[in-house]
Structure 1
Amino acid sequence: MNNPNPGKLDLHIAEHIAWITIDNPGKRNAMNASMWRQVPDLLGKIAGDPAVRVVVLTGTGDAFCAGADISELHEIERREESITAAAEQALLTCPLPTIALATTIAGRSQLTVRASKELVDLAARGESLAERARHWQDRSAASGEGAEGIGAFLQRRPPDFPYRG
């Protein structure tokens, strides 16, 4: 079936940050075959740009990414070499800090919002992330944020994150 509104990946570079936006809102930003194929090339282009210090992946609308577009699984899975594996390998080997900004989660967890903002700002200035990332990981564990998020998901209820700033 021909999709009149195929999904796409949009790249925007501003203030040392490369924003990759998954844009397929009609399918909750599910990744079609074309989108999967674009990931290694986009990340290669970004990694070769000395002005870029961090990569942020985000989605259009209310969803970050629903995964693979099941209507194109025949195309995604038919190749000798998996196009999803190539995209995932490109993400794993990207030499820049890479952050997935899942607004449906981060928009509700104030600790995650605060931590993400600080880490993106540090990366954009070319500063080390390791110490602050450990700090936020420790705060998250101590606050119960992760346990609440998982519990809410499993119980299919809105989360009541304990972190208040």
Structure 2
Amino acid sequence: MTEHLRVTRDGAVAVLTIDRPEKRNALTAAMWAALPGVLAGLADDPAVRVLVVTGAGPGFCAGADIADLLGGPDAGDPMAQLRRDNLAAQAALRDFPGPTIAMIRGHCIGGGVELATCCDLRFTDPTGVFGVTPARVGIVFTPTSTRQLVRLVGPSTARYLLYSGELVDAATALRTGLVDRLLPAGDLAGEVRRFAEVLASRSALTQRAAKEITAALAAGDDEDAVEELAARWYRETASAGELAEGVAAFTERRAPRFPWRGQATGSP
């Protein structure tokens, strides 16, 4: 556990909570810098199959702490170190080996959107409020953050959000693809937990394959390279016994007991 970054585990599901509710869970420079290490510890834990990212109290994350934006030692680029730490945190979340879900209540602004869009899935409830706000403070959103946003909502909606900095409600976020599910008030935590347990019961290798293949397709990778990636993952699921167990469980009308439970260190 790191200050303001709280980790809990319940079976195969880990929850990373941004825990600074008195500041609407705004991330300090130190919190951005600590995130990759926290995520690495969870990624290396063979018991963790699914990661949920959320915020303490009524909000998800109000973004970077404004007080830290100009705190760097380089007067010509005072955000240089913060930007490096921000990008490292995004990469660590985006590359987390298991499925990741952002559970969003209340404000999800700026850096909060960056974190949410690096998760595989985003669930919210009617309290969700979303904004991409660099134009309010004169910041240029990084290409990495912009790319993630464009992949989810398309270039037109991304421009709308980036140009204006306006906040949008949960229904608009669902309609534009910024979130995947909008749940009734009071149902969010229970449904996220239920769905996380479903994910934890499925083939981890199939999920790893799907994660890498969808990322490669979204990045526009060469078709032959994507085909080879899929073929390597297919061979891995077969050799690990995942495929045989899945077929046996289906035939015997029982829940599968997939043999591969650890976290791989890379693609097969």
Query: TM class by shorter-chain length?
Result: 0.5 to 0.7
Whether contact under 8 Å (1:64, 1:103) holds in the other structure is yes
AA in 1 matched with 2:200:
A
Matching residue of 1:56: 52
Identity %: 35
AA in 1 matched with 2:183:
Q
Unaligned runs of 5+ in 2: 73-78, 107-122, 127-181, 208-268
Whether contact under 8 Å (1:15, 1:124) holds in the other structure is no
Once the two structures are overlaid, the 10-residue window that deviates more, 74-83 or 9-18, is 74-83
- Describe the SS at the equivalent of 1:79: helix
Which runs of at least 4 in structure 1 moved beyond 3 Å after TM superposition? Answer: 111-118, 126-130
1:9-59 Cα distance to aligned partner (Å, 9 max, x none)? 011122111111101111110100111111111111111110000111110
AA in 2 matched with 1:110:
L
Whether contact under 8 Å (1:31, 1:68) holds in the other structure is yes
Once the two structures are overlaid, the 10-residue window that deviates more, 54-63 or 81-90, is 81-90
Matching residue of 2:12: 16
Structure 1 segment 108-127 matched on structure 2, within 5 A: 108=126, 109-110=182-183, 113=188, 116-127=192-203
Q: Work out whether 1:93 is the aligned partner of 2:111.
A: no
Matching residue of 1:73: 69
CA distance in 1, matches of 2:82, 2:60: 28
- Describe the SS at the equivalent of 1:63: coil
CA distance in 2, matches of 1:75, 1:11: 28
CA distance in 2, matches of 1:80, 1:16: 32
Matching residue of 2:254: none
- TM-score (norm: length of structure 1): 0.65
AA in 2 matched with 1:120:
A
AA in 1 matched with 2:198:
L
Once the two structures are overlaid, the 10-residue window that deviates more, 114-123 or 8-17, is 114-123
- Describe the SS at the equivalent of 1:20: strand
Quickly say closer, same or farther: Cα 1:75–1:19, change in 2 above 3 A: farther
AA in 2 matched with 1:100:
A
CA distance in 2, matches of 1:123, 1:115: 12
Equivalenced residues, count: 124
CA distance in 2, matches of 1:80, 1:123: 34
AA in 1 matched with 2:18:
I
Larger gyration radius, structure 1 or structure 2? 2
